[in-house]
Chain A
């Protein structure tokens, strides 16, 4: 019998809420989609196993040496950073959204119990989110190399616990050092860039050392091997745990749980106080804009565009997400800069073309999704004396304007060295951005921007179509840089994806 108000009772309550939240997110609130979602997940799991086999199958029987430990440790570190990023995002949300906080604090139960459960739930949820991605790799390694690889399943929750502990500690530390108002933005930015920074750092190192974007060249180098400790060091325990070393596994699990327990014990008694302060700061009206009393003359379309740019610029979550996507442009920029000094940089430019086209497609998709579907005053815009197509056109122009602003400097730099590559990249960026925007336009919904914090509310079909369209256009541009005629097949695939997305998009009344 579970007693009401006990930690287990709260855990069951949280689990039920989390399950319903996840189900609603996956099915977009339509229960009849549950079967399709189950089929989709099964297909994804099978697909991931096939991918995993092709990627890691050959490492299953690898002998334990320093290079193997470095490779596994780097993979774990990257996964862990991404988990920390996810946990920080969850903790920021827990602090700043009031949700059921009033109810909990007004009830006669010990609030620290539910906050302890809530922090543990964050740990479990980040581990649970890692499982579908990591699981297939573990399965394939176990299938090819033996059951010892199954020990990796013990490492995943341990990493989740450690990530949640660190995320909670970091968020609380930020809260106390810079205050609740700034913490929200800084935590979001840190969460957004923390995972990307590791990958980008490795890529920049690879470019500077080897002139390629390959991270493995750095990790497998003798220089890194010489800098790292001996194979017996505690640093390799997580990697050893993955490889089936029972003592290392126990050590990693114990250390993670102790860390999480310590953070829960330290933070949960004051969690309510922090959350109340955070909620109070969110309601503060003190944010003043630059005072400019003179109104500017502008057409309705220009007025709409200006509004969209202002809202995009003032959205801290979007800025952090965009910043992350911009960070991915740092390695190509470094590669570009490095290629200037080398003669015959054609190879580097061929590499840059798809990277930039892909980045443009992804950035345009993200911005278009928020700009077109997120509208805080839909009735106001709908009752304005302008045709509806003007509104959509202004929103699209706002998105493409941002893309132009971001990519023009890079295009100009490429044009300086190779006008042909710049032309191909320009066409690729324009088409990929237009395609991603069109997909988001076809699948547009209407909701307040504050509801768009998690991209998951976007249509699954739109998200996948946008990603595959960007990949196909990137491939087409990469091939076109070498031979235009060879670009026809990937371009045809991209067009087929667009056609499919258009066919699957919801029917709408003609714009008035």
Chain B
């Protein structure tokens, strides 16, 4: 079946081995404007997949297209459309949030006026405005993660890649981050996110992919996944994503 909406991310036959295969001929498609959650047990290959998409690791085989651009042939053009956030906030202790956002906007070549307006909006949204001119060195994990998120959004990326962005955040910070991400999807952005907090995937994701041993073992909406899990879930109608996820990964473990 052909999708009428163009794909924001298209991965074909992606493979990467370290001492053993981390990602094994993975195929994945994410539509524009979609919130896609990638789930999997520890060591399943989620982070390696996202790092290859972000251009941080070169794959052994396969292709990655970001909004139609071949990310391996023209990484600079693909990176222009993307933002990457890991669970460890990538910020500079000696810069203030405002200086950090100016730096990131400069790297992505955003016009100063536009960057300044975007930065102020993000600082307000994420409740960082009162600390906008304090150096980040004394910030909590939650504040640092919010600064990193603001940095990722200041250049208005079309595809946002997030690796466990809510790890270590308190409830208030997590809600602010989720609100900003939802808003970004509403305005046409695409989000690909890994998380161990299944409730987040359950509530926020349009589609969920389950990855194990470097391969996509299931994909779909929560309802579709429940049906796929089938006999592994006692009461399909009331099954949570956690039940479904455990059933799917248990099946995969048995098959392996």
Would you call A307 and B90 a contact (CB within 8 A)?
no
Query: Count of A-B contacts with CB under 8 A?
Result: 117
Would you call B134 and A285 a contact (CB within 8 A)?
yes
Chain B residues in 8 Å Cβ range of A293: 98, 116, 120
Chain A residues in 8 Å Cβ range of B13: none
A254 to B132, CA, bound (A): 56
Would you call B56 and A307 a contact (CB within 8 A)?
no
A512 to B104, CA, bound (A): 20
Whole-angstrom distance from the CB of A316 to the nearest CB of chain B?
Answer: 10
Contact flags (1/0) for A256-300 with B, using CB distance below 8 Å?
000000000000000000000000001111111101111111111
Chain A residues in 8 Å Cβ range of B107: 300, 303-304, 380-381, 384-386
Would you call A289 and B133 a contact (CB within 8 A)?
yes
* A21 contacts partner chain B, Cβ-Cβ < 8 Å: no
Would you call B54 and A383 a contact (CB within 8 A)?
yes
Would you call A287 and B134 a contact (CB within 8 A)?
yes
Chain B residues in 8 Å Cβ range of A378: 90
Whole-angstrom distance from the CB of A319 to the nearest CB of chain B?
Answer: 11
Would you call A379 and B92 a contact (CB within 8 A)?
no
Chain B residues in 8 Å Cβ range of A449: 93
Chain A residues in 8 Å Cβ range of B55: 382-383
Would you call A295 and B119 a contact (CB within 8 A)?
yes
Whole-angstrom distance from the CB of A71 to the nearest CB of chain B?
Answer: 45
Would you call A289 and B99 a contact (CB within 8 A)?
yes
Would you call A384 and B138 a contact (CB within 8 A)?
no
A350 to B185, CA, bound (A): 68
Whole-angstrom distance from the CB of A450 to the nearest CB of chain B?
Answer: 7
Would you call A307 and B92 a contact (CB within 8 A)?
yes
Chain A residues in 8 Å Cβ range of B77: 385
Q: Which of B59-93 contact A (CB under 8 A)?
A: 75-77, 79-80, 82-84, 86, 90-93
Size category of the B interface is 35 or more
* A377 contacts partner chain B, Cβ-Cβ < 8 Å: yes
Specify the chain A residue showing the minimal Cβ separation from B96: A289
In the complex, which of the residues A284, A376, A509, A512 contacts B93, with contact meaning CB atoms closer than 8 Å? A376
A306 to B99, CA, bound (A): 11
Would you call A286 and B138 a contact (CB within 8 A)?
yes
* B95 contacts partner chain A, Cβ-Cβ < 8 Å: yes
Chain B residues in 8 Å Cβ range of A310: 94-95, 99
Q: Which of A305-322 contact B (CB under 8 A)?
A: 306-307, 310-311, 314-315
* A387 contacts partner chain B, Cβ-Cβ < 8 Å: yes
Specify the chain B residue showing the minimal Cβ separation from A382: B56
* B44 contacts partner chain A, Cβ-Cβ < 8 Å: no
Would you call B93 and A307 a contact (CB within 8 A)?
no
Chain B residues in 8 Å Cβ range of A298: 106
Chain A residues in 8 Å Cβ range of B103: 303, 306-307
A38 to B136, CA, bound (A): 42
Would you call B138 and A285 a contact (CB within 8 A)?
yes
A242 to B151, CA, bound (A): 61
Would you call B94 and A311 a contact (CB within 8 A)?
yes
Whole-angstrom distance from the CB of A311 to the nearest CB of chain B?
Answer: 5
In the complex, which of the residues A286, A287, A300, A377 contacts B91, with contact meaning CB atoms closer than 8 Å? A377
In the complex, which of the residues A292, A299, A383, A387 contacts B56, with contact meaning CB atoms closer than 8 Å? A383
Whole-angstrom distance from the CB of A120 to the nearest CB of chain B?
Answer: 32
Whole-angstrom distance from the CB of B235 to the nearest CB of chain A?
Answer: 42
A300 to B96, CA, bound (A): 19
A339 to B212, CA, bound (A): 75
* B125 contacts partner chain A, Cβ-Cβ < 8 Å: no
Chain A residues in 8 Å Cβ range of B96: 288-289
Whole-angstrom distance from the CB of B79 to the nearest CB of chain A?
Answer: 4
* B211 contacts partner chain A, Cβ-Cβ < 8 Å: no
Interface centre among B77, B93, B94, B115 (most CB of A within 10 A): B94
* B206 contacts partner chain A, Cβ-Cβ < 8 Å: no
* B112 contacts partner chain A, Cβ-Cβ < 8 Å: yes
Interface centre among B83, B106, B116 (most CB of A within 10 A): B106
- Please report A residues at the B interface, Cβ cutoff 8 Å: 282-289, 291-300, 302-304, 306-307, 310-311, 314-315, 376-387, 449-450, 509, 512
Pairs of residues from A and B, 9 with the lowest C-beta to C-beta distance, nearest first: A303-B106, A285-B138, A377-B90, A385-B80, A384-B107, A314-B94, A385-B79, A295-B112, A295-B116
A sample of 20 cross-chain residue pairs with beta-carbon separation below 8 angstroms, ordered by A number, consists of A282-B138, A283-B138, A284-B138, A288-B135, A291-B133, A294-B112, A295-B115, A300-B108, A302-B106, A303-B106, A306-B106, A307-B92, A311-B92, A377-B90, A379-B84, A379-B90, A380-B104, A382-B54, A383-B82, A509-B58
Given contacts A293-B98, A377-B90, 4 further A-B contacts (CB under 8 A): A288-B133, A289-B134, A291-B133, A379-B54
